Amino acid sequence: MSISRIGAWTCSGVVVVAIIAGLALIGMPSEQRFKRLDEKRVADLRRLTSSLYAYWDTHDTLPLDLDVLLDGQHLSRMPLDPVSSLPYEYQVDAPSRYHLCARFDRSSSHEETSDFWAHEDGQRCYSFNVAGKTGKN
């Protein structure tokens, strides 16, 4: 076997090992996609929550429908689930209490478990009391 052929095989081996190591460090592309989609869902729920608090501050009541929040100031378009394109679930269960729900693809990482927005995979509902503290179901 010639030196150039050995060098080529060595370089090929190094490239393969580097690709495998990179995927092991950052995760498979599909897992990264699921993580980005879940991060988008949390960002959407945060935007909705902020808009609902602003609505409460102005009207001293919660809207029966999220479409009322489309005022161009707090929300200019309704956040939708990035996969299904359906609106997030919103339920008012008391004059100052509501729930926002989303379906997540993956569980939050271990570092995020103490975060309010931490979630398991599947349907997750967050409970809010605009007149007081927040809580999670």
The reported pLDDT for the residue numbered 9 is 75
121: left (phi over 0), alpha (psi -120 to 50) or beta: beta
Domain residue spans of the chain? 29-136
**How many CA atoms lie less than 13 Å away from 79 in the CB half-sphere?**
22
Q: Give burial (CB, 10 Å; 0-12/13-18/19+) of 57.
A: exposed
Verdict on whether the full-model pTM lies above 0.85: no
The reported pLDDT for the residue numbered 122 is 95
Query: What pLDDT tens digit does each residue of the chain (137 aa) get?
Result: 677 777 767 777 766 666 666 655 555 667 788 899 999 999 999 999 999 999 999 999 999 999 999 988 889 999 999 999 999 999 999 999 999 999 999 998 766 667 899 999 999 999 999 986 544 55
